[in-house]
C-alpha cells in the first residue's frame, strides 16, 4: 500500500531546506551502496554524520512524531534517521530492494525496514524525470510529489528512480520499523483507524458503536504489535 502524506514541510520550511542543501558537501551516493546496488546508483548523498544532515533529519522526525496520518499508517517503533540525496545530470538509481536490517551508525540500534519513505524537496516542475517507480501487485506506480509531500511504501517493494534529465531532484529518505510487521495487518489497522476518525466527526466520540469499533482497533493492535 502506498500512502501519500501532504505538506509534511511547509513552503517556508522547504525553502529553508533547499537553501541549506545548496551549500551542502555532497558525496558520491555509490559510497553507501552494497555491491549490487553500487552499479545501479548514480546520485549524490550527504554523509550521515554531517551536522546539516542531522539537523534537518531531526526536524523531520519532530514533525512526524506528531503527524496523525503518519502515525496511523506507520505505527512506528523505530525510525532510521533521515538521509538526503540529490539527482541531476542523468542521475538515476536502478531497480533495487532496500536492505531488511539496518544498523544506525555509531549506535547499537538496529532497524528492521518495514516501510520506506521519500520526502520530496524539489518542486516537480523544476526538474524532468526523477520519478520514484514502485512495483506492486497492481503494476508499477510512478510517484513525483509536490515539494514538502512524502510517500510511504513497503520496503519489500522493488523500486527505482528514473534519470533526471533537467534540473535537480532533492529529497530526504528513511526507513521505519513498525510495531506491526505484517503489511496486511498494518493495512487493516490503518483502514480501521481512518474509518473511526471519519465516524468520530459525524457520530461523536461517545457513540456506542464508535466506542466498540475503537475497542476492536486496540484489541487487534494488542494482538499484532511486536514490542
Contacts with 118 (C-beta within 8 Å, 6 or more apart), sequence order: 132, 143, 150, 151, 171, 172, 173
Q: How many residues belong to the chain?
A: 227
Interacting residues of 212 by C-beta distance below 8 A, sequence separation 6+: none
Three cell numbers, residue 20: 541549506
Q: Is 96 annotated as a binding residue?
A: yes
CB atoms under 10 Å from CB of 219, counted, come to 10
User: Distance between CA atoms of 87 and 44, rounded to whole angstroms?
Assistant: 7
Q: Reading across the β-sheet that carries 92-96, which strands appear in turn?
A: 41-42, 92-96, 159-161, 132-136, 139-143
Q: How many Å apart are CA 153 and CA 99, to the nearest integer? A: 14
CB-CB contact of 167 with 91 (8 Å): no
> Annotated binding residue at 58?
no
Binding-site annotation: residue ranges for 2-oxoglutarate: 169
**Residue ranges for the binding site for Fe cation?**
96, 98, 159
Which residues are part of a known binding site? 96, 98, 159, 169
Amino acid at each position: 500500500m502506498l500512502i501519500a502524506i501532504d505538506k509534511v514541510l511547509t513552503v517556508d520550511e522547504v525553502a529553508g531546506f533547499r537553501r541549506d542543501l545548496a551549500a551542502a558537501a555532497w558525496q558520491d551516493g555509490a559510497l553507501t551502496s552494497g555491491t549490487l546496488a553500487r552499479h545501479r546508483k548514480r546520485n549524490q548523498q550527504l554523509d550521515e554524520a554531517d551536522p546539516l544532515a542531522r539537523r534537518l533529519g531531526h526536524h523531520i522526525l519532530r514533525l512526524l512524531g506528531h503527524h496523525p496520518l503518519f502515525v496511523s499508517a506507520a505505527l512506528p517503533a523505530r525510525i532510521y534517521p533521515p538521509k538526503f540525496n540529490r539527482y541531476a545530470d542523468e542521475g538515476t538509481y536502478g531497480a533495487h530492494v532496500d536492505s531488511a536490517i539496518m544498523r544506525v551508525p555509531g549506535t547499537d540500534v538496529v532497524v528492521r525496514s518495514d516501510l520506506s519513505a521519500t520526502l520530496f524537496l524539489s518542486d516537480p516542475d523544476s526538474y524532468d524525470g526523477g520519478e520514484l517507480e514502485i512495483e506492486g501487485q497492481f503494476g508499477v506506480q510512478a510517484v513525483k510529489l509536490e515539494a514538502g509531500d512524502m510517500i510511504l511504501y513497503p520496503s519489500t517493494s522493488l523500486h527505482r528512480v528514473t534519470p533526471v534529465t533537467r534540473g535537480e531532484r532533492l529529497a530526504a529518505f528513511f526507513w521505519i520499523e513498525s510495531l506491526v510487521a505484517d503489511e496486511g495487518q498494518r493495512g487493516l489497522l490503518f483502514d480501521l483507524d481512518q474509518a473511526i476518525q471519519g465516524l468520530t466527526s459525524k457520530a461523536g466520540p461517545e457513540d456506542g458503536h464508535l466506542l466498540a469499533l475503537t475497542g476492536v482497533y486496540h484489541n487487534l493492535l494488542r494482538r499484532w504489535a511486536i514490542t
